[in-house]
Chain A
Amino acid sequence: MRPLYIAGKKISIEKDPISTKTPWWMTVIAVVLALVFCAGFMLLNGNNPITVFSKMFSGAFGSLYGLSETLLKAIPLMLCGLGVAIAYRISVWNIGAEGQFVMGAIAATSITIYYPGMGAFSSITLMLLAGFIAGALWALLVAICRSYFDVNEVICSLMLNYIAILFLSFLVFEPWKDPNGFNFPGTAIFSSSQKLPALDDLRLHLGFLIALAAILLYAVLVKFTHWGYQLRLLSANANAARYAGMNVKRQIIIVLMISGGLAGIAGMVEVSGVTHRLSQGVTSGYGYTAIIVAWLARLNPIGIVISSILCGAVIVGGYSVQLIGLPASMALMIQGAILFFVIGGEVFSQYRIRVETISPKKNEQTSSSKVEVL
């Protein structure tokens, strides 16, 4: 590209092949562009995008209740997003968070069904444990397929999603159906000791702190432990890790189990904190949105908190536009668009703008007196 000469300065765009960092504002631009892109489709369908977006925004942030709903949606997204982010760091494409979430929810519910009448602390702890284990085991299936049978984990984890959801349907329609539920496909409502404590008048519950704690724990583990060092090495250069004698297969299995376990906890938190019963509607695509959450955050733990709140807001906003007759699935469309604007924007992080001052006497440029990195 030809350089620009403005006021004695030479401005050129050059390639910076080693740069892998993307500045945060690039993500913001990507999100804005994605919204503009979706606005195009809304116009095509005869809706005014400004009305739609303002409706969505006020629905998600406009009131205390809306804000609490947004944070509520952010909880499972944070947990699932963290889970898939860990796997993506070592290039294991776990898109089975949805199924692992469902299995976690099922396992947590099984505690309420088979061990009713325990105290609040013990039943919540057991449910959390059950959720984690179920999610981890469901992900272990993916890990076995990937490590020992060379099966593409994308397909495998996705097929397991469908199987988990069908299993959920079976449970809520047949053996676990609430006998006093007027034929509603769902289990009986949990007792108060099986529910996560929530804020007064709002639905925001303890799960928010659980999710934040998980993220903090992950950040600490990765930064300060031996295991975290191995994980970072594996994500930076898998071959180097292999030559250094690291057991890559084992690491993949551990990471996938943690990944699935986090999604399982998300499932437990959702049944125990929000729906208070197991029903088909327990999953509404959190596992898929988690992929976007993770990528939007560039797999960074702190970023996951922010991006899951953003995606939560899009979901809640999607509900509020239902009032003006638009489908809530618009949220998925917006999230998908955000994802590919974000990944599309990554290529630009390889470029930087170089600003050089041209010395007027010699009429040739001094050696990069000032380089501004984009």
Chain B
Amino acid sequence: MEIFSMDIMQLLIIASISAATPLLLATLGGILSERAGIINLGIEGMMLIGAVCAYIVSIYTDSEWLAIIFSLLGGSALGALLAFLCITLRSNQIVAGLGITLFATGLSSYLGKSFGGSQPQTQIPNLDIPWLDNIPFFGEIFSHLNWMVWISFFIAIVLYVAIFKTRWGLHLRALGDGPAAADNAGVNVYRYQYLMTIIGAALCGLAGATLILVYTPSWNDGLTSGRGWIAVALVIFSRWHPINAIFCAILFGLFETLGFKVQLYYADIPPYFLKMMPYLTTIVVLMWVGWRNKNKPNGQPISLGKTYIREQRG
């Protein structure tokens, strides 16, 4: 069948990797804050704000790198808000995250509306690596990917090294599992939690910027269409591990792209059902993970979602 010919396979993989990039960045952001014990359900909202910041800045300045910087700032502003609510004010983390997402959905469409459908002025370019073209199959795939793909891979590897191979990462993992113990060992728990939530949120903002500057050509309300929530699921699926996150994100990128591809070849399947694919797979995958890890540790930081109150540590 034509769908499985070499070229198509390559295109499919390239499309999956492109679709995976925003998911991967958002998932990494989620991993960071959840490793510090803070559930981030505001990912969807942070992506939207990152996207709208990048969109507006790219219209005003024609500079994609400035747009990226502002998306990082926008995301981290929401991250600071989430951290303030969850850590300082000790609110319920789930409700706080939902609040962030609702607020950001409204704010982003309020801000984006004033630019009424105009295109972002810049796109992030592809990174051409000509010598890779000489390697037959995989070389051709990796020779013309977008800059953001490489940046997201790079961030994932940096996070892996940071979390698992450094003293700092040891502190981070310790405090996700037992903040009281980490505190007694001299780790400043609140500072770590603030920092991780804000950096994580900045990554979510970057994910939003990727979406608008690489993936979707123009702004529309609810641009992320649930990708932030899929990222929340990917955090669980990847077992809070940055390298796993790369593969999980690409797998979900594949599901997303398959929908489009199947539609090209089988026009009689209504597109609505194909669009359900990523959401359905998310549920199925989570069910599978839950079933497999029944009565076993699933890699979740033990104190995830529990507010650490220093005055009440055991």
Among the stretches B9-17, B135-143, B225-233, the one at the interface with A is B225-233
Measured CB to CB, the closest approach of chain A to B37, in angstroms, equals: 16
Q: Does A333 contact B (CB under 8 A)?
A: yes
A336 x B287 contact (CB < 8 A): no
The 8 A CB mask of B85-115 against A (1 = contact, 0 = none) is 1000111101110111111111101110110
Cα distance A107–B110 in the bound complex, in angstroms: 33
Given known contacts A145-B287, A151-B290, A339-B95, A158 and B102 CB-to-CB distance under 8 angstroms: no
Cα distance A344–B89 in the bound complex, in angstroms: 6
Given known contacts A93-B94, A292-B102, A339-B98, A155 and B110 CB-to-CB distance under 8 angstroms: no
Contact of A150 among B89, B100, B273, B293 (CB under 8 A): B293
A149 x B102 contact (CB < 8 A): no
Cα distance A337–B99 in the bound complex, in angstroms: 7
Cα distance A134–B283 in the bound complex, in angstroms: 19
Cα distance A368–B98 in the bound complex, in angstroms: 42
Q: Which residue of B lies closest to A346 (CB)?
A: B91
- Residues of B contacting A: mostly: helix
B100 x A336 contact (CB < 8 A): yes
Given known contacts A332-B105, A336-B106, A155 and B232 CB-to-CB distance under 8 angstroms: yes
Residue of B101, B233, B236, B272 most packed against chain A (CB within 10 A)? B272
Q: Does B246 contact A (CB under 8 A)?
A: no
A343 x B294 contact (CB < 8 A): no
A327 x B109 contact (CB < 8 A): yes
Q: Which residue of B lies closest to A44 (CB)?
A: B111
Cα distance A174–B268 in the bound complex, in angstroms: 12
Chain A interface residue bracket vs B: 35 or more
- Please give, as numbers and ranges, the residues of chain A lying within 8 Å of B291 by CB-CB distance: 149-150
Interface size on B, residues (CB 8 A): 49
Cα distance A166–B110 in the bound complex, in angstroms: 25
A343 x B92 contact (CB < 8 A): yes
A340 x B106 contact (CB < 8 A): no
- Please give, as numbers and ranges, the residues of chain A lying within 8 Å of B198 by CB-CB distance: none
B293 x A159 contact (CB < 8 A): no
A145 x B283 contact (CB < 8 A): yes
Q: Does A196 contact B (CB under 8 A)?
A: no
- Please give, as numbers and ranges, the residues of chain B lying within 8 Å of A333 by CB-CB distance: 103, 106-107, 110
Measured CB to CB, the closest approach of chain A to B313, in angstroms, equals: 14
Q: Does A366 contact B (CB under 8 A)?
A: no
Q: Which residues of B contact A (CB under 8 A)?
A: 41, 81, 84-85, 89-92, 94-96, 98-107, 109-111, 113-114, 221, 225-226, 229-230, 232-233, 236, 270, 272-273, 275-276, 279-280, 282-283, 286-287, 290-291, 293-294
Closest 7 CB pairs of A and B: A336-B103, A333-B106, A332-B106, A150-B290, A170-B272, A336-B102, A339-B99
